[in-house]
C-alpha cells in the first residue's frame, strides 16, 4: 500500500457509527498522528458520545459530535456540510437479531447506505469508504444479505456521481479481535465459570486487530479511485486454538452453529475470481460494471486464477498460538480480566 504521509491533514472527516470499536480507534489514529481540520462522529447514542468526548484522546478542538441516525437523510446532509471524507461504519450487526428483526436491519444497513450515498452526493463529499464484512460473501443470514446490498449500493453510486465527482469504495475484512460481540471477550467471561461453550471446534475465522483494520481503511482511502472493493490479506485461526490457549483446563460444550452461521468464512468467492487482482498485502475486486478506466497503479495487480477463492480454512496465513496469546492478553487487560495463559508451540 502507499505511505499515508499527510493524506488527512487539513481534511474534514466524518465517521458514521463513530462511537463503535472501529470508529473510536479511527478517530484516535487521526487525532494522534495527523492534523485534520475536523473529525466528526455521527451516531445515534448520546450516552456513548458523551463518554467518548470525556476521554483524553478525543479532547481536541477538532472533534465534533453529531447526533443522528443513518436512516435520516436530511440529518446526514446537514452533518456532511464541508466534509471531505466519509467513513461509513454504522450498521446493525448481530446475526440472530437480524433473523428476528429483518425490517430494522434493512432500514439501517440498506436504506441507511442509500442515505449516506445521496447525502454525500448532495454535500459534494470527495471520498466515501464503506465498511463491509465477510458475511456479505455468499450470505446465509439476513445480516450478510443486507451488507451485500449495501456494498452494491456504494459501488454502483460511482456510475451516477456525474459532475459532483464523489468517489465511493468498499473495504471488506473479517472479525476484529476484541470487538463487541466477538468470541474472545465471550470466552474470557465464560472462563470464570470453568466452562466454555463452542459452536464447532473445527470452525475457522479470519482475524485482525482493530488497529490493522484502521490502517488498512486509511490506506484504501488514499489510493481509491472509486469502485474498488479492497480486501486485506489477514491470518486465519481455528476456534479450537483460541480455546487451547485461553482456557485449556475448562470444560468444553459443543452447542452447534447458530442459524445462518458458516463453518468457514469467505472474503472472495470463486464467482468473483475473474474480477479480483492480487497485490502483495491485499486484493482488489473490480466492479461488475466497468464504468471506470483501470488506473495504471492497479494494472500492477496479478489477476487471480479461475476458481480462486479466499477462504479462512484454505488461507496460507495462520495465527500461531503465540499470536493468539499475545492478542488475548491485550484484550483481557482492556476488559479488566486477570488470567494466566499456557504458552503453546507455534503452528
Q: What is the DSSP string of 146-170?
A: HHHHHHHHHHHGGGG-GGG--EEEE
Q: pLDDT at residue 182 above 80?
A: no
Model confidence over 78-100: pLDDT tens digits? 999 999 999 999 999 998 899 99
Domains and CATH numbers, the chain: 12-174+207-234+266-312 (3.40.50.720)
**pLDDT band, very low/low/confident/very high, at 295 (cuts 50, 70, 90):** low
Share the mean pLDDT of the chain: 91
**Catalytic positions:** 135
What pLDDT is attached to residue 344? Answer: 46
Q: pLDDT at residue 280 above 60?
A: yes
Model confidence over 194-206: pLDDT tens digits? 999 988 989 999 9
> What predicted TM-score, i.e. pTM, was given to this entire model?
0.92
Q: pLDDT at residue 299 above 80?
A: no
**pLDDT band, very low/low/confident/very high, at 2 (cuts 50, 70, 90):** low
Question: Do residues 171 and 150 lie in contact, with contact meaning Cβ atoms separated by under 8 Å?
Answer: no
Model confidence over 41-50: pLDDT tens digits? 999 999 999 9
Tell me what percent of the residues of the chain surpass a pLDDT of 90: 73
Angle (CA) 188 140 279, round 5°: 80
Strands (E) located in the chain = 12-16, 38-43, 63-67, 85-88, 127-133, 167-173, 175-176, 195-198, 204-208, 229-232, 236-238, 251-254, 266-268, 276-278, 282-285, 302-303, 310-311
Amino acid at each position: 500500500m502507499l505511505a499515508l504521509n499527510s493524506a488527512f491533514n487539513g481534511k474534514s472527516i466524518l465517521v458514521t457509527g463513530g462511537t463503535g470499536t472501529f470508529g473510536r480507534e479511527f478517530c484516535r489514529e487521526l487525532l494522534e498522528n495527523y492534523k485534520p481540520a475536523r473529525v466528526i462522529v455521527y451516531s445515534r447514542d448520546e450516552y456513548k458520545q458523551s463518554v467518548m468526548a470525556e476521554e483524553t484522546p478525543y479532547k481536541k478542538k477538532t472533534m465534533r459530535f453529531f447526533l443522528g441516525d443513518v436512516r435520516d437523510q436530511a440529518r446526514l446532509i446537514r452533518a456532511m456540510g464541508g466534509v471531505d471524507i466519509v467513513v461509513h461504519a454504522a450498521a446493525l450487526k448481530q446475526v440472530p437479531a437480524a433473523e428476528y428483526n429483518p425490517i430494522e436491519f434493512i432500514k439501517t444497513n440498506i436504506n441507511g447506505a442509500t442515505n449516506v450515498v445521496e447525502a454525500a452526493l448532495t454535500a459534494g463529499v470527495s471520498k466515501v469508504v464503506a465498511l463491509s464484512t465477510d458475511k456479505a460473501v455468499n450470505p446465509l443470514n439476513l445480516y450478510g444479505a443486507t451488507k451485500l446490498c449495501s456494498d452494491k449500493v456504494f459501488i454502483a453510486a460511482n456510475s451516477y456521481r456525474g459532475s459532483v465527482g464523489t468517489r465511493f469504495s468498499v473495504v471488506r475484512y473479517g472479525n476484529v479481535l476484541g470487538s463487541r460481540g466477538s468470541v474472545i471477550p465471550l470466552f474470557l467471561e465464560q472462563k470464570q465459570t470453568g466452562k466454555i461453550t463452542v459452536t464447532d471446534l473445527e470452525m475457522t475465522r479470519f482475524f485482525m486487530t482493530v488497529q490493522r483494520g484502521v490502517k488498512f481503511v486509511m490506506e484504501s482511502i488514499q489510493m481509491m479511485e472509486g469502485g474498488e472493493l479492497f480486501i486485506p490479506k489477514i491470518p486465519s485461526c481455528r476456534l479450537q486454538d483460541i480455546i487451547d490457549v485461553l482456557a485449556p483446563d475448562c470444560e468444553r460444550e459443543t452447542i452447534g452453529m447458530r442459524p445462518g452461521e458458516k463453518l468457514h468464512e469467505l472474503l472472495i468467492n470463486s464467482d468473483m475470481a475473474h474480477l479480483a487482482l492480487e497485490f502483495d498485502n491485499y486484493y482488489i475486486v473490480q466492479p461488475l460494471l466497468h464504468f471506470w478506466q483501470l488506473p495504471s497503479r492497479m494494472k500492477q495487480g496479478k489477476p487471480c486464477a479461475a476458481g480462486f477463492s479466499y477462504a479462512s480454512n484454505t488461507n496460507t496465513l495462520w495465527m500461531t498460538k503465540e499470536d493468539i496469546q499475545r492478542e488475548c492478553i491485550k484484550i483481557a487487560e482492556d476488559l479488566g480480566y486477570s488470567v494466566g495463559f499456557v504458552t503453546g508451540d507455534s503452528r
